[in-house]
Chain A
Amino acid sequence: MSDRLRADPDPAGASGHAGDDERNAVLVGSSSRSDPIVYARDVHKRFGSLEVLKGVSLTVNRGEVVVLIGPSGSGKTTFLRCINHFERIDRGEIFVNGRLVGYRTDARGRLVEERSKVIAKQRAEIGFVFQHFNLYPNKSSLENVTLGPRKVRKLGKERADALGRGLLQQVGLEAKVDVHPAQLSGGQKQRVAIARALAMQPKLILFDEPTSALDPEMIGEVLGVMRDLAREGMTMVVVSHEMGFAREVADRVVMMDDGVLVEEGPPAQIFDAPGHERTRSFLAKLL
């Protein structure tokens, strides 16, 4: 771990949910101790009659690695998808980098959905790594990485290619630059997908079960890349079942169950001395 490369992880964030003071800190945009990139308050989400998120609040500071754990159906992935507005939220609010994500306040003070162009701009600053990679099958590794920089950041081909090659090298795939996803292993695909996310120079990367679709022998290479990113100070929110990774790399582990945040804290606390019975029984089932 290299805390010195990171902005000071917020020790207070370990103890409980974000309060109004923290919210004001976000809006004022100044805080001596914490530097929140993600600030979510009381997020509610339902799919039809199924209430998936029942008021989730979470703050993620710059340079922090937060791992979301919990049983399937607990709302981890849905919450992650709300952070870059892949899902609309029914109540509450999410700020990234001090800006409300996906919504704006109208003249009457109500929240209305932003225009898609504005949302696109917000998403450009938030990387997303998918469980099933979602690489473009009709494009080479390099083209997968450079499409965003070229079309969204409007980089020229040469600059984008140089950037793409550099990133593919960073994830150990300089030999696979011209190869198509069909010819890559699962682990290689996910590393290209991480390079694609990095190419937009995001302030934050969201990982949705990045190793769940991988064969066991390929999990390590992807976690290795993620570990390197964490060392370099990238802010990351990771939905994962890799408890070893969480213990080693996470600054904070967040346990979710049934649409609520059950408890959060440093990995040692959550894994070795969980404060909540649901956390205990969930972890017991994994072992």
Chain B
Amino acid sequence: MGRLLAATGLHFDSSFFWNSLAHPSTAFLQGLETTVYLAVISQTLATILGLFLALARRSKIPPLRAIVWFYTWIFRGTPLLIQLVIVYNGLAAAGVYKFSNISIASFVIPGVVQAAAVTFTLNEAAYMGEIIRAALNAVDPGQYEAAMSTGMTPGQAMRLVVVPQAVRFVVPPLGNDFNAMMKNTSLASVIGLSEMFLVTQEISSTTFNVFEIYAVAAIYYLALTTVWGIVQSAIERRIDRRWGIVRQRQSWVSTWGRRSVTVVGGPVSPENEAILQGVGRPHR
């Protein structure tokens, strides 16, 4: 590959590329680790917070609904990059709150990591709230009534029957968001958090192998999202099994003929329903 690029007059340091890919520096690995734990912690907290936002959005108390609406409006309507800077630099400059290092036993959580985790959590919670709200709405109201008919209180019916079923509808969009989250953590480089992107930038400016090292970083991001994709499929299959759904054949969509008939096959699933609704006017 290097020889090919050399022949075209371009520069590609192939040994640097392969070496960085196969034997990344300690700094790079630490950046990778930061990226992963920042993404995992933020997504987890955002999912929990999102559940409460979704429940609040369905509440009977109008001011509560209004507050959640406002929260969602702000966090979905402004750039994540600006949110990061405001939370870390802006709040400190305004004298509102300064994130400083916290040490628990011998473990130190740097202020910048806290600020990033808080921002990613708050931002993602706005999206998760909407995802979970849609998922709760997707559970057949008859399920809630069935639970109530056996003497459950509204709270029990929600917790024991509706929420567990909503999980099935949450996983695909949550997977999508977590995929984005892992890549979006690179934005935390602007507040000086040494995650994978910032480390890559530093390596690039000391070695001048700009293309090679960013290509390596891209491959590592791709590896993270690929691993997550596999995990997500496993989770989805596991939930399907909990529902007693065995996928004997893959869902498929085929289009043929001038009348453009689309056939959606496979077992009845939320995905198929989504496809049908996307197509409009389905004939079942």
Interface residues of B in 129-168 (CB under 8 A from A): 140, 142-143, 145-154, 156, 160-161, 164-165, 168
Is residue B252 within 8 Å, beta carbon to beta carbon, of the partner chain?
no
Residues in chain B near residue A147, CB distance under 8 A:
147, 150, 160-161
Looking across the interface, which residue of chain A has its beta carbon closest to that of B168? A138
Given A151-B160, A179-B244, are A123 and B148 also a contact pair (CB < 8 Å)? yes
Name the interface size band of chain A: 35 or more
Task: Tell whether B67 is near chain A: CB-to-CB under 8 Å.
Answer: no
Does the CB pair B146–A136 fall under 8 Å?
Answer: yes
- List chain B residues, Cβ under 8 A from A116: 153-154
A180 touches B165 (CB 8 A): no
For the complex, what is the distance from the CA of A193 to the CA of B142, rounded to whole Å? 12
CA distance A148 to B149 in the complex (A): 9
In the complex, chain A residues 143-165 whose Cβ is within 8 Å of any chain B Cβ: 147-148, 151-153
Within the complex, which residue of A124, A134, A182, A183 is in contact with B151, where a contact is CB–CB below 8 Å?
Answer: A124
B116 smallest CB distance to A (angstroms):
36
Q: Give the chain B neighbours of A123 by CB distance below 8 A.
A: 148-151
Task: Show the binding face of B for A, using Cβ within 8 Å.
Answer: 140, 142-143, 145-154, 156, 160-161, 164-165, 168, 239, 242-245
Query: Which 8 pairs from chain A and chain B are nearest by CB?
Result: A180-B244, A124-B151, A148-B150, A128-B149, A134-B146, A134-B142, A182-B244, A152-B151
Sample of 24 A–B contacts (CB below 8 Å): A116-B154, A120-B148, A120-B153, A120-B154, A123-B148, A124-B150, A124-B151, A128-B146, A130-B142, A130-B145, A130-B146, A130-B149, A135-B146, A137-B243, A138-B243, A147-B161, A148-B150, A151-B156, A151-B160, A152-B151, A180-B243, A182-B243, A193-B146, A200-B150
Q: Which residues in A have some Cβ–Cβ distance to B below 8 Å? A: 84, 86, 116-117, 120-121, 123-128, 130, 132, 134-138, 140, 147-148, 151-153, 179-183, 193, 196-197, 199-200
